[in-house]
Structure 1
Amino acid sequence: MSSQSVKHISECFVQPQHASDESKQPLYLAPTDLPMLSAHYIQKGLLFAKPPEAMNDHKKADFINALLEKLKHSLSLALVHFYPLAGRLATKKEENPPLYLVYIDCNNSPGAKFIYATVDLSISDILSPTDVPLVVQSFFDHDRAVNHDGHTMSLLTAQVTELVDGIFIGLSMNHCLADGTSYWHFFNTWSEIFQAQTQTHASQNNNIIPYISRPPVLKRWFPEGHDPIISLPYTHPDEFIGRFEAPKLRERMFHFSSEALAKLKAKANAEAKTTKISSFQSLSALLWRCITRVRRLPPSQSTSCRLAANNRARLDPPLSGDYFGNSIHPIKSEVVTAGELLEHGLGWAAWKLHEAVVNLDDKSIREFIDAWLQSRMVYQIGQFFDPHSVMMGSSPWFNMYGNEFGMGKALALRSGYANKFSGKVSSYPGGERGSIDLEVCLVPDAMGAIECDHEFMEAASVTHY
């Protein structure tokens, strides 16, 4: 399978169906957006089975051509609502007074990118191997690109990769514009418009901008009293752009059924003598403990676990759940030693995570943002890559499997190369209600060890797609 390569058949740019007056103005990035300039794009996608008619040699070309046209047309309609995704980044520099302003320019861009590609592989070739095949990384645009590259690259690319018996739809989105909540908001809206257009048979209505259930809030959030024009303390991108390369990793999907999660939650709460620990906090504690154990760290080695948290509802007043931008915070547990973590049980570790979650409130978020505004910097992925800690990303509460493009529910979700390192765990909704799938990235020795770890494998099972 390693010899099979993805072939790009065609590519084009897609503009919003109509340009609004707002889209002709610069969009200034918020204090929660600008630190992401050196991080990777977000790369997530869904694998669908081809419908029976698409497997017929005589109808195959008709199916794929019709699918591509519908996808491009619905994308152009979705971009009317999410017009910043059709823009490019731009930088304005001045010497006196000093100014280094990165913003979104929607006037000087060819639009979002759309790629059609093929690969001579089957669904089974992607889902059956123990590890996620490396070829999946080629199902996405912007491989190894950082967000600052959005000055010359598209801020959004949709890549449709045709397999022998399946279709993979992968989106690559600039992380300066959006976090995971906003990413899936766009994906959901694109799907919603696609389905609405499929039901509309009158051709004269095809270009009408459809009603959508969740219009995005595009106006950026800035703390009270702060100018929306934020100058960075740099003179050249070389001062803040880093090209992080992860060590050799194994990437594997593990499934946690609703029953397994309920047992973990009950165990953690019983050990901590509480009822407040959530299923996800219990699951994160399991990963933290088990990964720490298989790494064979010295007992005195410091370790922590971080969770990607949505700030929207934590702010006072809260932001709309449809706020389109970055509103996330990496909640960090209390730093403990590997010896302490492993000497205590699941409940002890889960309570540490629970406390960190509870302590993230409006006051702490604003203090963090104010501190950044006082000392502005761009984060490096290497800062998040701690070989002794664990980072839990994404969320099982995103509506990932609600996206349909005329092929029914997706069979599986997979991601690209972006933002991965040893100890990075991404959580997705599982195939059945209440379950969670985890995408675990570890160096080969640690992955081999966790596959033999009794505590971990007692709770986990191989994804069953």
Structure 2
Amino acid sequence: MPSSSVEIVSKLTVKPPEPYPSSAAGRRVHLTPWDVSMLNTHYIQKGLLFTNLPPSFCTHHILQRLKTSLAAALWHFYPLAGRLVTEKVIDKAGKVAGLQLHIDCNGEGVEFIHAVARNITAGDMLASGEDIPSFIRSFFPLDGAINHDGHSDPLLAVQVTELADGNIFVACSFNHVAGDGTAYWHFFNSWAEIARSEIDLTGIGVKLSRPPVHERWFIEGENPPITLPFSDPSQFVERFSPPPLRERFFHFSSDTLAALKARANHESRTSTEKTATISSFQALAALIWRSITRARRFPPEQLTSCRLAIQNRSRLSPPLSANYFGNSIYPLKAMSISSRELEANGLGWAARRLHVAVASHTDAAIRRLIREYHVAPAVYKIAMFDPKSMMFGSSPRFDMYGCDFGWGKAAAVRCGAANKFDGKLSAFPGREGGGSVDLEICLLPEFMENLLRDEEFMDAVSSTG
């Protein structure tokens, strides 16, 4: 493996032309239950590898264009240039009765880092059939930061790393209180849209094809701000550090997914169903759930479950805009079942459980969860996730490979170390499109070794990347 040495060449702060547009509701962005609950998780860390830069593009030109377009993008996504603020609620006795948080859109700016990896090439990053190299971690800023750190750290940090072969990796660390994966890729694509345009980037008001919607959604009868039942952040802030993990990408072709979908629907279709109801992703998730459960060598009666990060925008009635900028997700849980049941009943049976969980996530269910949160506000802790379960994050529906800065389609997407634990999976669209999927799977070393020997799982893997 090449030396993982990454040299930081420069760091600077990029600010929007003004703290927030005159059309904005104000300097303060109130936080929803979906936002506040993310205070303990890590920043979202995703990045793209670009291997087809025009020979005429020098590093100085690339960096300058990225910085000026980032400043223009921040005018649209102005909360990212702000900081988190906590205010204390004081009761009649003069004691702290709770904490209230918001984003102060003060225009303080985001961090922009230029780095060089003199001994690492694109080939080192893309080696097929191998674990993800540990040096990837050094391509992401704010490593180890949790979202609560956004009181002092920037809510967004960008690192552009030059590789030894002249290719570049563009990475963002994005505060999860400010937004979810949908919001993250909306920002990343909008930044790229501005960067590849031919317009002057020095002024205010560069138009976007998908301008973000910043008005946060609150359920009827519940007005912001949310009051957390703590007197000091130390009562809820928790930093999570996982044990050593093995991480690997697995590729599933569109043909493989179509076959899994057909198999799952054939095995589980009821007499009243005339069309397929189980999606290809639900079928894939069922395969992974069964395979990882076998790899963990659970005793027959051990209960296990599968969680899917599911977005709420389109499920609310009326729906939120697809351009809603913020968090709007839940870690949806399929019912817990025993290891014996999961193995004995087959792929279709497991996929049906996931399908039922997704189908039940309706407007009424979302509103019930929101009202329950307002009764007892809380902050997620990564340690809360059941180590006997697995959790899918990200989505193959995110437009990752449409993120073109003017250099063409990215060669690969990669993740930092954030929010990883035994049983964490991240889903991405396959680069060739057509409905293919890449999965990044994180497991304890012994479990990964067992998974690589699992015949049903490996038969479904088209290639690794």
User: Over residues 418-454 of structure 1, what are the superposed CA-to-partner deviations in whole Å (9 max), with x where a residue is unaligned?
Assistant: 1111111100000112210000001111111111111
- Shift of residue 141, structure 1, vs aligned partner: 1.1
* AA aligned opposite 2:444: V
| Pairing 1:228-307 to 2, within 5 Å after superposition | 228-273=224-269, 275-307=276-308
For residue 362 of structure 1, what is the aligned residue in structure 2?
A: 363
Tell whether 2:111 aligns with 1:113.
yes
Look up the SS of the partner of 2:84 in the other structure.
Answer: strand
Give the Cα–Cα distance (whole angstroms) in 2 for the partners of residues 380 and 173 of structure 1: 18
- Shift of residue 231, structure 1, vs aligned partner: 1.2
* AA aligned opposite 2:148: H
For residue 101 of structure 2, what is the aligned residue in structure 1?
A: 102
- Shift of residue 114, structure 1, vs aligned partner: 0.5
* Preserved contact between residue 397 and residue 429 of structure 2 (Cα < 8 Å): yes
* Preserved contact between residue 13 and residue 112 of structure 1 (Cα < 8 Å): yes
TM-score, normalised via structure 1 length = 0.94
* Preserved contact between residue 75 and residue 204 of structure 2 (Cα < 8 Å): no
Give the Cα–Cα distance (whole angstroms) in 2 for the partners of residues 248 and 99 of structure 1: 37
**Which has the larger helix fraction?**
1
| Pairing 1:344-355 to 2, within 5 Å after superposition | 344-355=345-356
* Preserved contact between residue 69 and residue 195 of structure 2 (Cα < 8 Å): yes
User: Over residues 344-372 of structure 1, what are the superposed CA-to-partner deviations in whole Å (9 max), with x where a residue is unaligned?
Assistant: 11000000000000000011111111111
Look up the SS of the partner of 2:349 in the other structure.
Answer: helix
* Preserved contact between residue 52 and residue 408 of structure 2 (Cα < 8 Å): no
- Shift of residue 52, structure 1, vs aligned partner: 5.4
* AA aligned opposite 1:96: D
Give the Cα–Cα distance (whole angstroms) in 2 for the partners of residues 24 and 351 of structure 1: 46
For residue 320 of structure 1, what is the aligned residue in structure 2?
A: 321
- Shift of residue 333, structure 1, vs aligned partner: 0.5
* AA aligned opposite 2:288: L
* AA aligned opposite 1:151: H
**Closer, same or farther in 2 for the Cα pair 1:77/1:52, shift >3 Å?**
closer
For residue 332 of structure 2, what is the aligned residue in structure 1?
A: 331
For residue 60 of structure 2, what is the aligned residue in structure 1?
A: 65
- 5+ residue gaps, structure 2, are 271-275
* Preserved contact between residue 289 and residue 306 of structure 2 (Cα < 8 Å): yes
Give the Cα–Cα distance (whole angstroms) in 2 for the partners of residues 329 and 404 of structure 1: 29
Give the Cα–Cα distance (whole angstroms) in 1 for the partners of residues 228 and 411 of structure 2: 43
How much identity, in percent, do the aligned residues show?
Answer: 51
- Shift of residue 252, structure 1, vs aligned partner: 0.2
| Pairing 1:67-106 to 2, within 5 Å after superposition | 67-96=62-91, 98-106=97-105
Give the Cα–Cα distance (whole angstroms) in 2 for the partners of residues 238 and 2 of structure 1: 40
Range with bigger deviation, 19-28 or 146-155: 19-28
Give the Cα–Cα distance (whole angstroms) in 2 for the partners of residues 118 and 257 of structure 1: 34
Look up the SS of the partner of 1:462 in the other structure.
Answer: coil
TM-score, normalised via structure 2 length = 0.94
Tell whether 2:31 aligns with 1:36.
no
- 5+ residue gaps, structure 1, are 55-61
From 217, 221, 224, the counterpart of 1:225: 221
For residue 18 of structure 2, what is the aligned residue in structure 1?
A: 18
- Shift of residue 387, structure 1, vs aligned partner: 2.1
- Shift of residue 2, structure 1, vs aligned partner: 5.6
Look up the SS of the partner of 2:33 in the other structure.
Answer: coil
**Closer, same or farther in 2 for the Cα pair 1:50/1:163, shift >3 Å?**
farther
- Shift of residue 208, structure 1, vs aligned partner: 4.6
Tell whether 2:41 aligns with 1:46.
no
Give the Cα–Cα distance (whole angstroms) in 2 for the partners of residues 334 and 142 of structure 1: 36
Look up the SS of the partner of 1:351 in the other structure.
Answer: helix
Give the Cα–Cα distance (whole angstroms) in 2 for the partners of residues 441 and 28 of structure 1: 34
Give the Cα–Cα distance (whole angstroms) in 1 for the partners of residues 281 and 52 of structure 2: 33
Give the Cα–Cα distance (whole angstroms) in 1 for the partners of residues 225 and 308 of structure 2: 30
* Preserved contact between residue 38 and residue 148 of structure 1 (Cα < 8 Å): yes
Give the Cα–Cα distance (whole angstroms) in 2 for the partners of residues 51 and 25 of structure 1: 39
Give the Cα–Cα distance (whole angstroms) in 1 for the partners of residues 98 and 27 of structure 2: 19
* Preserved contact between residue 196 and residue 405 of structure 2 (Cα < 8 Å): yes
Look up the SS of the partner of 1:461 in the other structure.
Answer: coil
For residue 393 of structure 2, what is the aligned residue in structure 1?
A: 393
For residue 460 of structure 1, what is the aligned residue in structure 2?
A: 461
* Preserved contact between residue 50 and residue 407 of structure 1 (Cα < 8 Å): yes
Give the Cα–Cα distance (whole angstroms) in 2 for the partners of residues 44 and 13 of structure 1: 20
* Preserved contact between residue 23 and residue 83 of structure 1 (Cα < 8 Å): no
* Preserved contact between residue 253 and residue 462 of structure 1 (Cα < 8 Å): no
For residue 133 of structure 1, what is the aligned residue in structure 2?
A: 133
- Shift of residue 299, structure 1, vs aligned partner: 0.5
Look up the SS of the partner of 1:8 in the other structure.
Answer: strand
Look up the SS of the partner of 2:440 in the other structure.
Answer: strand
Give the Cα–Cα distance (whole angstroms) in 2 for the partners of residues 156 and 75 of structure 1: 11
RMSD: 1.4
* Preserved contact between residue 158 and residue 171 of structure 1 (Cα < 8 Å): yes
* AA aligned opposite 1:218: H
- Shift of residue 388, structure 1, vs aligned partner: 1.2
Q: How many aligned residue pairs are there?
A: 450
For residue 450 of structure 2, what is the aligned residue in structure 1?
A: 449
Give the Cα–Cα distance (whole angstroms) in 2 for the partners of residues 164 and 421 of structure 1: 31
Look up the SS of the partner of 1:440 in the other structure.
Answer: strand
Give the Cα–Cα distance (whole angstroms) in 1 for the partners of residues 463 and 446 of structure 2: 19
* AA aligned opposite 1:416: G
For residue 58 of structure 1, what is the aligned residue in structure 2?
A: none
For residue 59 of structure 1, what is the aligned residue in structure 2?
A: none
- Shift of residue 51, structure 1, vs aligned partner: 2.7
Give the Cα–Cα distance (whole angstroms) in 1 for the partners of residues 25 and 76 of structure 2: 10
Give the Cα–Cα distance (whole angstroms) in 2 for the partners of residues 185 and 150 of structure 1: 20
* Preserved contact between residue 393 and residue 424 of structure 1 (Cα < 8 Å): yes
Give the Cα–Cα distance (whole angstroms) in 2 for the partners of residues 144 and 397 of structure 1: 27
Give the Cα–Cα distance (whole angstroms) in 2 for the partners of residues 101 and 223 of structure 1: 18
For residue 216 of structure 1, what is the aligned residue in structure 2?
A: 212
* Preserved contact between residue 50 and residue 167 of structure 1 (Cα < 8 Å): no
Give the Cα–Cα distance (whole angstroms) in 1 for the partners of residues 233 and 223 of structure 2: 22
Look up the SS of the partner of 1:53 in the other structure.
Answer: coil
Look up the SS of the partner of 1:402 in the other structure.
Answer: coil
Give the Cα–Cα distance (whole angstroms) in 1 for the partners of residues 388 and 2 of structure 2: 31
